[in-house]
Structure 1
């Protein structure tokens, strides 16, 4: 029964009816002094990764729901008052990215685009295929999608298993391609399941989260925050975990020194997903260029942990510490009230955080 409960958490199902209202849940969340959290958008089942257009329209992907939403705050009161369904019956359309009037969506096996989307929110056009040669495996198949400083699309292809040595190069890879689907290339390997990519604002270095393997115990292996710098780098999976733990079966003749070590690690099973470097002006200066990471929370740990947003502090372009920024979605009794997935910055410097457990988007603001 416990294993069924873990699976339910993993796939975003709610086992017990929420006794608390969503407003009651907000009151149980803990933030630093001066920060407040509210509901920006509601009734978005399985809300996952987010992207924002120049006019403030927020696009939201899902996983098992198979839909893509758009939400809009038309009167500027901090609450989205319009919701549109851009697409239905897609194959785990987790990843979304926006550029120059076009919405890009990453399904498991392809990337598609909706052109001139802002002009057709209430009557979306049929999507056009950008790239359709990705594996169709559902296991770790859902994807994050972001535009890099080079204007290329970046995503990752996960391992089709918990732990295995895939027989195709495309698995466990970080990839990039042009917006028209050309020049597809694998730029790194050894990545088990990355669902978060961001660039450090000053150095333009690419950082990505990676979820470690399951079923080794409560406290191993650590989850990873990695930094990519050169094409061809290998980040260890399935031979080495966290830069220090050799895999029993596949790592027998390997050394962890042969692979790129994580730039930072989190405790096992925290499930770090979406991340964002803050570059706005609303928050205090100490938050400038610091990294927010959504930790979705554990599913195969005897005592759950995670279910929070952490702030990873950077100095001279390198992570040096981390601490909880928002907590309270996991109660002292182990009850799960929400599961943060992605972090997005609005034009005014406020933050949006998606929650696929409650199907909402939160807004975090700061008042001195």
Structure 2
């Protein structure tokens, strides 16, 4: 059951980043271990796996794309290259059709890419212009391709906390692979950051950062399947038909029908967790029970009295759908004490590496972690 709006005061409590405490360790299920894969970034956010197994990293505040290579296969990056610089807050990336696609905060561009290439040979081609005004760090733009490679999906967050948005904001749009024939695919998604297809069902999913200012436990962030032409409530309502009191006066005209048909997401996370990176595990290095499950990176709260998030969670899937109440901690420990505001890491992006291990960008510690399973690697 959801609390009423304003049941608790809206807190502003940011975390304070500290170095890893001497005895602090990251916790995982039995059989898993974690090591540092790479370090010394400015702001590592999203990763993409090149066809040859290289790991591409969007170092967003540095406006760069970095290439990492683990040449001796010891689970640590030992070669590093700058593929491109001079970008504009790059975030989402995808390899498709002989190109590396990159989502800047204001454009989607693509670089011609040849297998094993570590530096771009030419300037990128701009294929999409994106809206750029942003609230509260809603500058991220993520991308993914349909399983057949024909359609490109771009997620763009709201430019406000809870106001009525211009078309193209708080939405996922669909384009042809060359950036043409764009249209709104789904809307009412306040800040859809993680975006990925379930490889088994070919259904698109997204993680959404919901609105602030209604109290500690409103509004839950969530994971949802994305339905074509679906509306998910923002800014008028949340989690279906729960009206945001700040927008009640705007529920008139066509809006009541929109709200009536607002889709309820499948998996709710603790409010203000800041659910970012999303992937479906399809590697071979984890036990079979992890196949097809989702992982989500929780960047951590700022709008809650007790901090929450700062971890990786696993969402179990069965028959292509998330099980009820089925999310659990997978990697935790960056927030040693919820009553303190001290944290030593903030996970963002997730990637299944070529060897099946799980890579995690951490823009708090400015490094990349690697989770492996003892039975395999």
Q: Normalization by structure 1: what TM-score?
A: 0.90
Secondary structure of 1:286 counterpart: helix
Q: Distance in 2 between matches of 1:238 and 1:301?
A: 20
Match of 1:362 among 365, 369, 372: 369
Cα 1:62–1:247, aligned 2, differ >3 Å: closer, same or farther?
Answer: farther
Counterpart residue number, 2:204: 206
Is 1:135 equivalent to 2:131 in the alignment? yes
Cα 1:365–1:17, aligned 2, differ >3 Å: closer, same or farther?
Answer: closer
Q: Greater CA deviation, 285-294 or 146-155? A: 146-155
Q: Contact (CA 8 Å) 2:241, 2:262: kept in 1 or not?
A: no
Is 1:313 equivalent to 2:316 in the alignment? yes
Counterpart residue number, 1:353: 360
Cα 1:306–1:355, aligned 2, differ >3 Å: closer, same or farther?
Answer: same
- Which has a greater percent of strand? 2
Cα 1:36–1:124, aligned 2, differ >3 Å: closer, same or farther?
Answer: farther
Q: Distance in 1 between matches of 2:208 and 2:12?
A: 24
Following superposition, the deviation at residue 362 of structure 1 comes to 0.9
Give 5+ residue unaligned stretches, structure 2: 1-10
Following superposition, the deviation at residue 89 of structure 1 comes to 3.5
Q: Distance in 1 between matches of 2:142 and 2:328?
A: 24
Q: Contact (CA 8 Å) 1:144, 1:197: kept in 2 or not?
A: yes
Q: Contact (CA 8 Å) 2:33, 2:371: kept in 1 or not?
A: yes
Cα 1:361–1:272, aligned 2, differ >3 Å: closer, same or farther?
Answer: same
Following superposition, the deviation at residue 19 of structure 1 comes to 5.9
Counterpart residue number, 1:163: 162
Counterpart residue number, 1:303: 306
Match of 2:64 among 51, 63, 67: 67
Counterpart residue number, 2:102: 105
Following superposition, the deviation at residue 303 of structure 1 comes to 1.2
Q: Contact (CA 8 Å) 1:310, 1:323: kept in 2 or not?
A: yes
Following superposition, the deviation at residue 45 of structure 1 comes to 1.7
How many positions carry a matched residue from both structures? 353
| RMSD (Å), alpha carbons | 2.1
Following superposition, the deviation at residue 67 of structure 1 comes to 2.2
Q: Contact (CA 8 Å) 2:45, 2:349: kept in 1 or not?
A: yes
Q: Contact (CA 8 Å) 1:53, 1:99: kept in 2 or not?
A: no
Q: Contact (CA 8 Å) 1:48, 1:355: kept in 2 or not?
A: yes
Q: Contact (CA 8 Å) 1:117, 1:124: kept in 2 or not?
A: no
Is 1:281 equivalent to 2:284 in the alignment? yes
Secondary structure of 1:196 counterpart: strand
Cα 1:258–1:53, aligned 2, differ >3 Å: closer, same or farther?
Answer: same
Q: Contact (CA 8 Å) 1:223, 1:242: kept in 2 or not?
A: no
Cα 1:227–1:358, aligned 2, differ >3 Å: closer, same or farther?
Answer: same
- Measured against aligned partners, the alpha-carbon deviations of 1:131-184 in whole angstroms (never above 9, x if no partner) come to 12x112133131111122131221112110111001x22111111212221221
Is 1:294 equivalent to 2:290 in the alignment? no
Q: Contact (CA 8 Å) 2:12, 2:305: kept in 1 or not?
A: no
Is 1:259 equivalent to 2:259 in the alignment? no
- Measured against aligned partners, the alpha-carbon deviations of 1:13-44 in whole angstroms (never above 9, x if no partner) come to xx565264xxx58x610010110111111112
Counterpart residue number, 2:191: 193
Match of 1:344 among 335, 351, 362: 351
Counterpart residue number, 1:12: none
Give 5+ residue unaligned stretches, structure 1: 10-14
Query: Relative contact order (alpha carbons < 8 A, sep ≥ 6): 1 or 2 greater?
Result: 2
Q: Distance in 2 between matches of 1:206 and 1:41?
A: 30
Q: Distance in 2 between matches of 1:62 and 1:246?
A: 38
